[in-house]
Structure 1
Amino acid sequence: MELIKFVVNENTKDVRLDVYLSKEMQDKSRAYIQNLIEEGKVTVNSSVKKSNYKLKISDKIQIIVPEPAVLNIKPENIPLDILYEDKDVIVINKPQGMVVHPASGVYEGTLVNALLYHCKDLSGINGIARPGIVHRIDKDTSGVLVVAKNDFAHNHLALQFKEHSINRIYIALAEGVLKQEEGTIDAPLDRHPVDRIKIAVVKDGRRAVTHYRVLERYKSNTLVECKLETGRTHQIRVHMSHINHPLVGDPVYGYKKQRFKLEGQMLHAKLLGFIHPTTKEYMHFEASRPDYFEKILNILQKELL
């Protein structure tokens, strides 16, 4: 166990607690720091605060950093749909149902297990449980994901994600019929104040912006293309639910009664574009809609408006 202390000065007053710690503890991810805060391992003036607590001058912060858990992540010969690979990056079309990295008792069958078998080297910035993982998509979301094969590539890609310069386009099937051809959902997100498993639109949450465009309208559903300006956890799922058009099949934010028997939300990461860490050239990769998506759309074709 490690004990870390900070005292807030004039230059950092009014900054969110998690933002401040992310800058001071650059070897730790913001998600890791937020987990420490939620677990009560961070105190301000001896009191537990939330991630969005605004710091004041002379606030005394104390962080208890637990010893890292000893994990034995085994390489597994799991087939990968590789869209592109070189010495710096590997771009994967992740199938629905695959967890990106080991966590919460899931230590086998993840994308990381498959990557460890396929790749000799992966970046080590995110530790042994998440080697190479720069960003994630949900277990039941399919589509394009980039993985870093060295620390240089990881830092370069992570900066692009931080600056929101990554081009990320998703295809989603929403409940109900959207009236507007296109629109923007600008609503801040954070942990749900009561149900901590969920993400919710929260007044003092992190800025989150989703741009959407209607592709097809059906009798009771709408096929939309969503472009992320920011990339928050569950962003599209929560934003679409926020405007009363949750995603079909979403077990957390969707309708309790579902028309189709699905494994999860109808959400597919169609396109991912970024500047290559070494060549500095813009590259983008696309993954066509998977079978589970096409099956439902074929049924809905009879209900086109």
Structure 2
Amino acid sequence: MTSDDTTEVRSVYIPEGLAGERVDVALARLFGVSRTRAGDLVAEGLVLLDGAAPMKSERVEHGALMEATIPAPRRAVVVPTEVEGMSIVHEDDDIVVVDKPVGVAAHPGVGWDGPTVSGHLAGVGVRISTSGAPERQGIVQRLDVGTSGLMVVAKSERAYTILKQAFRDRTVDKTYHSLVQGHPDPHTGTIDAPIARHPKHDFKFTVRADGRASITHYDTLEAHRFASLLEIKLETGRTHQIRVHMAAIKHPCVGDPLYGADPVLAKRVGLERQWLHAVRLGFTHPGTGEWAEYESPYPDDLQRALDVVRDLD
């Protein structure tokens, strides 16, 4: 039932199929909210299990009564703010391609009040497509906050539809360079491993049999004493995909402690984020129908770190 215009109160008995699951997992599956949102609701005391407030890691039992008070999700707002270091690589009537610096999100979201690509475009007067959720209008792809490089944003409604489908159909060439620890064996290969949310860490992902299909191709460009420079192409576009897959084969991105990178090496090369950059982006232009391709040089911090690794040889 709905208690007012913004808050929903729901209750359900735990079915046998969810017995033994964590509270936040059961809540997410039963009420259709994200795992992160479910964890937040539990932490805020808005969830009861047989009348008592549980911990999110507590396991549910068959037949237990779960009650949840679910406020309407807060809407993130695009704030026009020009972002230092953001450059526009290409712009026409249909698209705008930007070179995103580290520390910038693709769009605003609950829990993120830092700079965004959409906020920068609004700040410099670039009008983009109104398709998509209000805070994600025009956004057809995303890069992690800690990853730099190329992103395309739709300006026309037609471009938004065509580009979204192109990403779904895997016809977009997404090429990254990453400096990873050690030396992958074989030096050229494909990682085909499903990715899901980590069962114990809200903002982390992992390889799991019940995850979404994820395919990463890599090729070694340079092999050094402590690290290798890889060229990576993605077939799919899962959150943290490269970082998860590199960690899964025991060669995490240098400077990525969340996924097991050595903090001593990161400090030695002067890195404060993962060495991962979207160097090339190619796709069929939604307006002309011709292939369009854009490239981005390494940012200063990544170039310096690579130079140090080369010198360590």
TM range (shorter): 0.7 to 0.9
State the match for 2:123 in structure 1.
Answer: 117
Task: Provide the identity percentage.
Answer: 39
Q: Does 1:36 pair with 2:45? A: no
Which deviates more, 131-140 or 116-125? Answer: 116-125
Measured in 2, the distance between the counterparts of 1:108 and 1:97 equals 8
Distance 2:70 2:291 in 1: 38
2:133 is matched by which residue type in structure 1?
A: G
- Do structure 1's residue 161 and structure 2's residue 157 form an aligned pair? no
Distance 1:301 1:236, change over 3 A: same
Structure 1 gap ranges (5+)? 4-33, 42-63
Paired with 1:256 and 1:157, the residues of 2 have a C-alpha distance of 37
In structure 2, what is the Cα distance between the partners aligned to 1:247 and 1:282? 31
Give 1 or 2 for the bigger CA radius of gyration.
2
State how far apart, in whole Å, the 2-side matches of 1:37 and 1:286 are: 35
In the alignment, the residues of structure 2 paired with residue 115 and residue 66 of structure 1 have an alpha-carbon distance, to the nearest angstrom, of 31
Give the direction of change, closer, same or farther, for the CA distance of 1:181–1:282 in structure 2 (3 Å limit): same
* 1:292 and 2:287 are equivalent in the alignment: no
1:118-267 to structure 2, matched below 5 A, reads 118-261=124-267, 262-267=271-276
What code does the residue aligned with 1:36 have? V
Please give the TM-score of this superposition, normalised by the length of structure 1: 0.76
Distance in 2, Cα, partners of 1:302 & 1:162: 41
Contact 2:175 2:231 in 1 (8 A): yes
Q: TM-score, normalization: structure 2?
A: 0.74
SS state of the match for residue 36, structure 1? coil
Shift of 1:98: 1.5
RMSD: 2.4
Q: Does 1:69 align with 2:74?
A: yes
Q: CA distance change for structure 1 residues 215 and 120 in 2, over 3 Å: closer, same or farther? A: closer
Who is 1:9 aligned against? none
Supply the distance in 2 between the matched residues of 1:109 and 1:200 (Cα, whole angstroms). 27
Separation in 2, partners of 1:105, 1:232: 20
Contact 2:75 2:135 (C-alpha < 8 Å) held by counterparts? no
> How many residues are treated as equivalent by the alignment?
252
Which consecutive segments of 4 or more residues in structure 1 shift more than 3 A?
A: 64-72
Shift of 1:71: 4.5
For 1:268, the equivalent position in structure 2 comes to: 277
What's the offset of the Cα at 1:203? 0.2
